[in-house]
Amino acid sequence: MSLSLDDKLLGEKVNNYCSSSEDEGDTDDCDKSEEAAGQGEAETSNGSVVSSAMNRLPQREDVVDEIKDKKLSELLDTLEEDDEFLTQYRQNRMLELKNSLERLPVYGKVSDLNSETFVHEIDSTDPGVTVLVLIYELDNDECKKVHACFQELCTEYTHIKFCRIRASDACLSYAFSRSGVPAIVVYKNGEVIGNLLRVTRHLGTEFYTVDLENFLVEHGFLPDKTVGILLKSRLSVNGTLN
């Protein structure tokens, strides 16, 4: 099965590489891949991400309406009263987050993908799991360094699915194989949520696993470990940690 370059891999950014006139040998393959991409693959929308975020807000229309009608002095008088509700809501949310994390699959390794397995591996992954795909080439030293970082990170973030695929296996152009790697594409629920082309541009020539880790955390593609520590501590203090 050919990859869907624009919908499944790198989005519109990849077209800049596949349309290069330097890649006469690659053009036909990329065209075929794009034709096959339109068959049988579900379309996705960023609207679902916004909708999901909105659904996490507390549904308290009665409270909202009441607050709208109150003056500042009245709101100050009810802060202590509302705090009990908010505390309980936060407590329930923390417990919900803890339980949802525990239900996620455990990986702990870097999986190799190819043109036959790529789409299936992305689409069949649990919707709650973040998938990080390294696009690499064998003769690229920067790719080797990022892969080494992936091998360390996958043992620390076991609920994250780490994968890699060669640019040539993904039917990407020669220009991309030379100039676009190492690239990291991030998926969740089958959708691309992040494109990091030649990620080493942001890390410099000398970087370590912690540098890539911090970069991914800052961009929201890896969970912040301190949040998990605080969550566990808060639940333990409140006696809700099993």
pLDDT in tens, 143-165: 999 999 999 999 999 999 999 99
| pLDDT at 171 (0 to 100) | 84
Asked if the model's pLDDT at residue 138 lies above 50, the reply is yes
* CATH code, residues 111-222: 3.40.30.10
pLDDT (tens digit, 9 = 90+) per residue, 29-38? Answer: 444 443 433 3
Q: Work out the mean pLDDT of the chain and round it to a whole number.
A: 72
Torsion sign across C-alpha atoms 66, 67, 71, 77: positive
Torsion of CA 113, 116, 118, 121, to 10 degrees: -90
Looking at residue 107, its pLDDT comes to 95
Cα separation, 51 vs 21, whole angstroms: 41
Regarding predicted confidence, which is higher, 26 or 98? Answer: 98
Distance CA 73, CA 78 (A): 9
Task: Report H helices in 104-127.
Answer: 118-123
CA 169, CA 135: separation in Å to the nearest integer?
10
How far, in Å, CA of 5 to CA of 7, rounded? 6
Q: What percent of the chain has pLDDT over 70?
A: 51
What is the tens place of the pLDDT at every residue in 73-123? 444 455 445 556 665 655 666 666 666 767 889 999 999 999 899 999 999
In whole angstroms, give the CA distance from residue 29 to residue 17: 13
Q: pLDDT band at residue 15, thresholds of 50, 70 and 90?
A: very low
Which pLDDT belongs to residue 197?
92
> Does 208 score more than 90 pLDDT?
yes
Q: Determine the Cα–Cα distance for residues 202 and 179; give it in Å rounded to an integer.
A: 14
- Taking CA 57 as the corner, what is the angle to CA 52 and CA 58, rounded to the nearest 5 degrees? 140
Distance of CA 1 to the CA centre of its chain: 24
Q: Which residues does residue 39 pair with via DSSP β-bridges, in sequence order?
A: none
Where in the chain are the domains? 67-103, 111-222
Q: CA 76 to CA 180: how far, in whole Å?
A: 55
Q: Identify the top-confidence range among 11-15, 62-66, 232-236.
A: 232-236
Q: How far apart are CA 162 and CA 176, in angstroms?
A: 21
